[in-house]
């Protein structure tokens, strides 16, 4: 992603009633991590499509055991 657009993307994601959180891993190369609930995946894809950036979506599930 164009590094000059990172702050705007963060503003958009947080402006949608805290739709997602954005973590910057390398600002100079535009490498980001966007964390969101699976139910929000479609709107996240639409937003990223508007920014015309390439992305990869991966899922993370944490298994919790009751003790």
Per residue in 47-58, pLDDT (tens digit) is 999 988 888 888
Is residue 59 a part of any domain in this protein?
no
Is residue 60 a part of any domain in this protein?
no
Is residue 28 a part of any domain in this protein?
yes
Determine contact, residues 19/10, Cβ cutoff 8 Å: no
User: pLDDT digit string (tens) for 7-60?
Assistant: 999 999 988 888 999 999 999 998 999 999 989 999 999 999 998 888 888 876
Is residue 45 a part of any domain in this protein?
yes
- Where in the sequence is the domain holding 19, given as residue range(s)? 3-51
Number of domains in the chain: 1
SS3 label, residue 26: strand
Is residue 56 a part of any domain in this protein?
no
pTM (predicted TM-score):
0.76
Is residue 40 a part of any domain in this protein?
yes
Is residue 26 a part of any domain in this protein?
yes
Q: What is the pLDDT of residue 67?
A: 46
As separate numbers, helices (DSSP H) first and strands (DSSP E) second, the chain gives: 2, 2
Q: Does the pLDDT at position 66 exceed 60?
A: no
């Amino acid at each position: 992603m164009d590094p000059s657009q990172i702050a705007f993307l963060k503003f958009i994601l947080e402006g949608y009633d805290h739709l997602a959180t954005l973590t910057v891993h390398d600002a100079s190369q535009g490498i980001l991590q966007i964390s969101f609930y699976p139910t929000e995946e479609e709107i996240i894809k639409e937003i990223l499509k508007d920014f015309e950036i390439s992305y990869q979506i991966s899922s993370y599930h944490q298994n919790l055991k009751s003790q």
